Structure 1
């Protein structure tokens, strides 16, 4: 259990917000997400840790201790950050469930960091050694503060689990160095890759030391003053330094940078009581979701710069939708949910969790998507499993990348996932994501409440809730009704209620054993794009519950997916595929046209080209690519239906 006085929780506002998150100990996961947490613990984290050694990135720290960085350093300039993210993942895991293996590894790495750290608190294996680059000589691309931010995040995880140990001492020394170096009397600079902002606020929350919050606020306010140099990736908006964050109407530039900055700015706004900034950030993110986000929740439509496009510039076959951007989007939406209570933020979290976060790791936990395209025209390419991959867009998950930010981000997210699912307020308990498992919580007045959830979600939309702890006094149980559902019902006692999307709240003097049944319905549904999304106009995509579906060539070997049309007026058939256990496939009717024999591809009409009827098998998007090289598409030209 968590030691007294500590809340093992990834986001823990010190200032009162509308909803209070729960420690990861208060949520037990089984089913879909429980299986992925076990996979993360047993395979993903050890796999990443092995590659950190294999690629030589931990060796960089040893070289820093030995004084051999000039000849022995390998990898890109931000490799330290991946070590810190795996340390954070281990810290959450041992807080959730003891692990002597992870504890020993954390101690080993912490000793190494202690030895590598400079006397003034500076720590980075790419800079500040004889013959190497000078520290803070390249704020645009150097990632020094970004790396320090991830170090601090790992230490916050340890602190919140009650361990004030060597890792915490290293991180606090690094944070104090940054406050001196970039404080009111120091460098008037910012990092080209935001992350330090959120880290410093969380360290303030964990320690109560105001200087960390003040420094985070300085970094946020310095954005947009054009202090960073210009870049070929769309100018200074690439790293959000072209316009003050209070003036920018929508997220621009590198998607991960923009989202990390937004998360940090929300944290600053909450802790400083800056309601105007908070409202602006919410509007900024809302516009981004409404105009610059893929059906899967993915963000980033430009390969050049891993960045946002213009409004409605969302080409399926050029979707970048980096896994890290999905993680960062969840971070932003969760903070806005806590601050506003608006269920639409839980909706985007659900969409992104099931269709980006769950898509990234392979079923075996030993390979990962960096990019999450929505259309793979040709067969994906198998990467070399023995070397870090340079290629992120080949359609197959790779064991490791030369830039491996995504696998480690997935590891720390899954390890701390229990802290993103439910909240409490003065009225009672709120359930935002549906999992098979248990929730125990303490209300602000000190009363303990608890529920169990029994569900096969997302295979099934039926969620049975049972009260497991209550003192018999009234409290409110609030359930999110997803925006995608059309026929949701809630039954408790002898009454069944029809529910509209939003929030359903029942206030009762609950007794242990009281039950409710939420039925969200899981009828497959076709969705159409906004006509301003020119790249997929005239197409349809298939969804069922929170899952986006796709066509994969593994299920239709004789069909060129580039030549199919779906009939959205035809009935569906649903079955469990033999080679994707635990999923449901949806069978639809469609046609495939004969391939043109050659010649000019632009004709007055294509209607004369022969077509034949076919049955098309859709599978959950998060499972694609697990059966070997494949072509794939989410959006398909459509006939029939509305």
Structure 2
């Protein structure tokens, strides 16, 4: 499968979960981000420099030193939204942003309000810490999105001027890298947009310099900065999870352009490490709070899961690139897992409150008073990387849902909507992920491929005006040769199922999780009878699980469980036969819906009776 990076034209149905999420992003999340950029001083950091001109600016820089990136990610979200809907509602915002960027940028192209606005700091002097190229990368990505989505030339010109400076200033004479990978994938994308070869070469240089200890190791070691091993040798997911995943996305982007097979082989091994032994069932990445990092293989404690929202987003972005590189369904499957679980859980139903970390268990009595580990989603964070990152992902979500090649169209994320390649148009009707009935009406001629999830054992297919080339095998693609007017109906079984973890995941040994379709479910204190705590529950694996609908979630699950009496001593003599409590009926809701009814205990992994 030789997939096209730009992909087909897609319009997600606003009545679908993904399409409705995009509309909520446009009406609530992006405006919320813009409001908070003003409230927290991000825009003021630019204004004070623009107003000062050549003079020393008044006041102080506000926020984290990488706050510029929060503006850039929000601008990127606007760019994708303009391309999706053609909206011009943020024209004044874009004009203001372009004016500020042009006025703050130096004559040689440098642009970073923290370095420029803080006396005594020099450009590129502490790249292990400063995030200068990280911020630059987000500006380049914003410029590409705005140019593709709305033809914006002003911010693209600013971005190219900065990229030219990076090319010239960080050449062979100054072999420097940023402590936070991100600029690599941005430079490749800017190359794709402009055709300027030097940007691709600069991305290649940044990637080839990794792993040679160019940066001071610091308290967390070189792996924190992804500078511990060259990229072809660094085949275990390690260190700061977001940095690891952004770097992997950049390396895969480079492979897509230069076809260096050694890069792809390394990325496949790295992917097996990250997704084979270090990923949470929800698609979250990173099990350690201390350095926001991957732990050892199978070190996946649910209650201490860091699983930063940005890491799940980065994982989806990397999987997308691996899908383009290989055409293998497993990468789309992991995109879906992260999207419907870890990523979806990180944003409230109103689109204006967020989780930074995404635990799979919240204990009764948890102290959620600090933003490092809150019991509730928060409107904003001091380190606000996640909310605008969500905004840019959601605005571009349609572009991840399907791929195309010379033969036809491939549906990767099953959603209602219209999908058009050069040879085929597919109108998809489905209530997925709540329902497994996927109906496709086709226009044109060519091959349609529909991804069949690995859990969909027993999937069925009916076609008219089409020939089945490959049956619906779980973990592969249903392939159909279509004539104009053909219809395809794929039926995916949505029976709730119990999932166990590898025995090496010590923290959940003897527990199971409940899943239905692509959704992981959890039990929340809000749904338990008075006097029963989440920690008391024990699940009988033979219990019947039934499905119900209510106003809170389209499909909730109901089953009988045992409520074990609470212990009266912290430690006591072992008893082989533990007393059973009374059976109760328990409700489970999709993990992504938890904490929308106020704070309270929750758990995904339930001990067996």
* TM-score, scaled to structure 2: 0.96
Structure 1 match to 2:509: 537
**Aligned 8 A contact 2:307 2:359 in 1:** yes
Structure 1 match to 2:311: 325
Which one of 61, 68, 75 corresponds to residue 46 of structure 2?
61
Q: Residues 509, 584 of structure 1: CA spacing in aligned structure 2 closer, same or farther, 3 A cutoff? A: closer
Q: Per-residue deviation at 1:394? A: 1.5
Aligned ranges for residues 565-604 of structure 1 at < 5 Å? 565-578=538-551, 580=552, 582-598=553-569, 600-604=570-574
Q: Residues 438, 379 of structure 1: CA spacing in aligned structure 2 closer, same or farther, 3 A cutoff? A: farther
Matched, 1:155 2:143: yes
**Aligned 8 A contact 1:70 1:132 in 2:** no
Runs of 5+ unmatched residues, structure 2 = none
> Which piece of structure 1 moves more, 113-122 or 610-619?
610-619
Matched, 1:178 2:178: no
Structure 1 match to 2:440: 465
**Aligned 8 A contact 1:70 1:130 in 2:** no
**Aligned 8 A contact 1:380 1:396 in 2:** no
Structure-2 separation of matches of 1:193 and 1:290 = 24
Structure-2 separation of matches of 1:206 and 1:245 = 25
Q: Per-residue deviation at 1:69? A: 4.4
> Which piece of structure 1 moves more, 354-363 or 121-130?
121-130
Structure 2 match to 1:90: 78
Q: Residues 47, 18 of structure 1: CA spacing in aligned structure 2 closer, same or farther, 3 A cutoff? A: same
Q: Per-residue deviation at 1:488? A: 0.7
Structure-2 separation of matches of 1:406 and 1:460 = 30
Aligned ranges for residues 296-315 of structure 1 at < 5 Å? 296-315=282-301
Q: Per-residue deviation at 1:563? A: 1.9
- Cα RMSD (Å) of the superposition? 1.8
Q: How many residues align?
A: 602
* TM-score, scaled to structure 1: 0.91
Q: Residues 333, 479 of structure 1: CA spacing in aligned structure 2 closer, same or farther, 3 A cutoff? A: same
The Cα offsets for residues 505-556 of structure 1, whole Å up to 9 and x where unpaired, read as 44435122x2111111100000001001111000000000000000000101
Structure-2 separation of matches of 1:421 and 1:230 = 39
The Cα offsets for residues 289-338 of structure 1, whole Å up to 9 and x where unpaired, read as 01000000100000011100010000111111000001000111010101
**Aligned 8 A contact 1:21 1:419 in 2:** no
Structure-2 separation of matches of 1:608 and 1:204 = 64
Q: Per-residue deviation at 1:25? A: 4.3
Which one of 403, 407, 427 corresponds to residue 423 of structure 1?
403
**Aligned 8 A contact 1:488 1:498 in 2:** no
Aligned ranges for residues 29-428 of structure 1 at < 5 Å? 29-30=13-14, 31-67=16-52, 69=57, 71-129=59-117, 131-161=119-149, 163-185=151-173, 187-233=174-220, 235-378=221-364, 391-428=371-408
Q: Per-residue deviation at 1:110? A: 1.0
Structure-2 separation of matches of 1:130 and 1:426 = 52
Q: Per-residue deviation at 1:610? A: 4.8
Structure-1 separation of matches of 2:306 and 2:579 = 33
Q: Residues 391, 493 of structure 1: CA spacing in aligned structure 2 closer, same or farther, 3 A cutoff? A: same
Structure-2 separation of matches of 1:428 and 1:33 = 23
Structure-1 separation of matches of 2:584 and 2:109 = 65
Structure 2 match to 1:560: 533
The Cα offsets for residues 250-288 of structure 1, whole Å up to 9 and x where unpaired, read as 111000000000000111122122011112112211221
Structure-2 separation of matches of 1:18 and 1:339 = 8
The Cα offsets for residues 151-207 of structure 1, whole Å up to 9 and x where unpaired, read as 00000112223625110111011111111111123x211100000000000001111
Structure-2 separation of matches of 1:138 and 1:543 = 46
Structure-2 separation of matches of 1:382 and 1:367 = 15
Q: Per-residue deviation at 1:21? A: 4.2
The Cα offsets for residues 54-101 of structure 1, whole Å up to 9 and x where unpaired, read as 111111100111236462321110000000000000011111112222
Q: Per-residue deviation at 1:502? A: 2.9
Q: Per-residue deviation at 1:577? A: 3.1
Runs of 5+ unmatched residues, structure 1 = 1-16, 384-389, 443-447
Q: Residues 70, 532 of structure 1: CA spacing in aligned structure 2 closer, same or farther, 3 A cutoff? A: farther
The Cα offsets for residues 89-121 of structure 1, whole Å up to 9 and x where unpaired, read as 001111111222212211211111111111111
Structure 2 match to 1:517: 489
Q: Residues 90, 452 of structure 1: CA spacing in aligned structure 2 closer, same or farther, 3 A cutoff? A: same
